[in-house]
Amino acid sequence: GENVEQHPSTLSVQEGDSAVIKCTYSDSASNYFPWYKQELGKGPQLIIDIRSNVGEKKDQRIAVTLNKTAKHFSLHITETQPEDSAVYFCAATLKGYSSASKIIFGSGTRLSIRP
């Protein structure tokens, strides 16, 4: 089955700098890679996703890249702000859900933005 590894587990950056979180997956059949942001006391919120037919996707200060050959994908946050402080989870799954294609989550990265 799919296995997703996420690094680093904690990340502290200066406000205004960039943050990068990296994930690797094991199942080459996975074709959908969402990223979730979980703020304290809240449920995970989908912030961006990418499908295997594209290599990069950007939404304002957030971008995700995917390297299918190496089976890794990354989240990039530029011009970080205090409200970016949260736990971020990467995930991998197959498009077109079936009982065999659960979403598998990474272990999470706790991002702290220093003022």
The residues that touch other proteins, with contacts defined as CB under 8 A, are: 32, 34, 36, 41-46, 49, 89, 93-97, 99, 101-103, 105-108
Edge-to-edge strand list for the sheet holding 72-77: 4-7, 19-25, 72-77, 62-67, 56-59
Sign for the pseudo-dihedral over CA of 41, 108, 63, 20: positive
Min dist CB 82 to other proteins, Å, is: 21
Nearer to other proteins, 57 or 78 (CB): 57
Nearer to other proteins, 17 or 59 (CB): 59
93 half-sphere exposure, CB direction, 13 A CA radius:
16
Query: Which residues 6+ apart lie within 8 Å of 86 measured at CB?
Result: 37, 38, 39, 40, 110, 111
Nearer to other proteins, 12 or 45 (CB): 45
Min dist CB 33 to other proteins, Å, is: 11
Nearer to other proteins, 52 or 78 (CB): 52
Min dist CB 16 to other proteins, Å, is: 28
